[in-house]
Amino acid sequence: MDFFEAIIAGMPLLQWGVYLLLSAGIFFILRMAIHLTANRMGRQVNRTPTEVDHFLVRLMRRIRGLFLAGIALWGTSHFFPIEDGIQSAINLGAMLLVLFQVGVSASVVIEFLLRQRMDPSENQARQETIRLMAKIISWFVWAVLVVMAVDSIPGFDANTLITTLGIGGIAVAFALQNVLSDVASALTIAFDQPFEVGDGIQVGEVGGTVENIGLKSTRVRAYDGQQVIFANSDLLKSRINNYQSLQRRRVMLNLGVVCETRLATLEKIPAIVKEIVDSTADAEYAWCYFTELGASAHQFQAMYWVTSADYNVFLQARHTVLMAVLHRFAHEGIELAYPTQTVLLGGTAPGQGESETSG
């Protein structure tokens, strides 16, 4: 019995044994409870499509055994006369393990929240950008937890660490400011979604189809076949016209007919245009009016919609309408005008060419 009554760090060896066995028992109970609960929930999750259930199961399965062991040792230590120095070390170790588990759990939560914004049908580039965003946020959380852990260790000054990291961060930011700006712009594109892969866009004088959205640049296949590469930061500073969001396209049709056109024929033109548009696939008539008595032509203006966002459908519909107008006007004897000026030559002006003599 003398062996078990030996004092070690202010407490008999027997009490140390009881303390460790009790802590091991608590650890085993916690471990088994979490394991059984996660497995039971996992079987139920397979029968339900709810994402929250999957998240809770994964969160429970990411609880680390080291964290549970630290909690068991810390909780049990309050029932034994442990020396202050050792108790402080146990408290510190438990705090560090709590911070570690918070970081692990936070990573799971961040990934879950960002996955809610991710559609499996979305392009691969956007999915990769969202995953990168999750990693960046997780790194930031871990950095904060590391600073908190260092600050909790006696003898360590967290302010010095923060200052060092701040100076180093500023230096890195200056060195990589263009790259970081492009990466930040990529994240903005991923979340704000001004355009996606496959969209037809116009940036300045460049129009084309988005082929790839990367972390630093976006590639656009121009309509003339060239591949144009935009830095993401420059792209967001520009005015972007996204034609993919169009539900329909407006077409304005200006027609000028010669001034000699008969009044009865002029009155027929709006009905002719309406008939042509109504008979054209993917076209929807809006209006047609006589708008101007010009010097060399009577002007009509019509408007119709092409009910498709596809640019090729728009071109085909406009082509069909224009060809039909030419054929119908030729059949009706309606002549399209072009800028002309007619000079009417009459008789000689009075007094012109006469001379008066006096002697």
228-254 pLDDT, tens digit each: 999 888 888 888 888 777 778 899 999
Name residue 256's amino acid: G
- Phi and psi at residue 2, to the nearest 5°: -60, -35
User: Between these two residues, 128 and 16, which has the higher pLDDT value?
Assistant: 16
Between helices 311-332 and 263-278, what is the axis angle to 10°? 150
Give the pLDDT confidence score for residue 3 in this predicted structure. 57
Please give the Cα distance from 147 to 161 (Å, whole number). 8
Give the pLDDT confidence score for residue 328 in this predicted structure. 94
| C-alpha distances in Å from residue 344, one per residue of 106, 258, 347, 350 | 89, 17, 10, 17
Please give the Cα distance from 152 to 100 (Å, whole number). 13
* In contact, 272 and 257? CB cutoff 8 Å: no
Burial (CB count <10 Å: 0-12, 13-18, 19+), residue 266: middle
pLDDT tens-digit map of 120-163 = 555 565 666 667 777 778 888 888 888 777 777 776 666 666 67
Question: 165: pLDDT confidence band, cut at 50, 70 and 90?
Answer: low
* In contact, 129 and 193? CB cutoff 8 Å: no
* In contact, 324 and 245? CB cutoff 8 Å: no
The verdict on domain 193-245 having CATH code 2.30.30.60 is yes
pLDDT tens-digit map of 288-339 = 999 998 878 999 999 999 998 777 888 999 999 999 999 999 999 999 987 6
Examine the pLDDT at 90 and tell me if it is beyond 90: no
Examine the pLDDT at 187 and tell me if it is beyond 90: no
Q: How big is the CA angle at 255 (ends 205 and 328), to the nearest 5 degrees? A: 120
* Rg (alpha carbons) of the chain, rounded to whole number: 40
Three-class secondary structure of residue 13 per DSSP:
helix
Examine the pLDDT at 19 and tell me if it is beyond 50: yes
Question: 184: pLDDT confidence band, cut at 50, 70 and 90?
Answer: confident
Give the pLDDT confidence score for residue 318 in this predicted structure. 95
Give the pLDDT confidence score for residue 270 in this predicted structure. 95
Give the pLDDT confidence score for residue 151 in this predicted structure. 74
Give the pLDDT confidence score for residue 142 in this predicted structure. 83
Give the pLDDT confidence score for residue 117 in this predicted structure. 67
Query: What does the domain layout of the chain look like in residue ranges?
Result: 7-178, 193-245, 249-332
User: Between these two residues, 349 and 38, which has the higher pLDDT value?
Assistant: 38
Choose among 130, 106, 107: nearest CA to 119.
Answer: 130
Give the pLDDT confidence score for residue 17 in this predicted structure. 85
**Dihedral of CA 295/296/300/301: which sign?**
negative
Place of tokens 């009016």: 289
Q: What is the mean pLDDT of residues 3-22?
A: 75
Examine the pLDDT at 1 and tell me if it is beyond 70: no
Same fold, 193-245 and 249-332: no
User: Between these two residues, 299 and 117, which has the higher pLDDT value?
Assistant: 299
| Reported CATH class of domain 249-332 | alpha beta
pLDDT, mean over the chain: 81
Out of 58-72, 108-122, 331-345, the most confident range is 58-72
Question: 285: pLDDT confidence band, cut at 50, 70 and 90?
Answer: very high
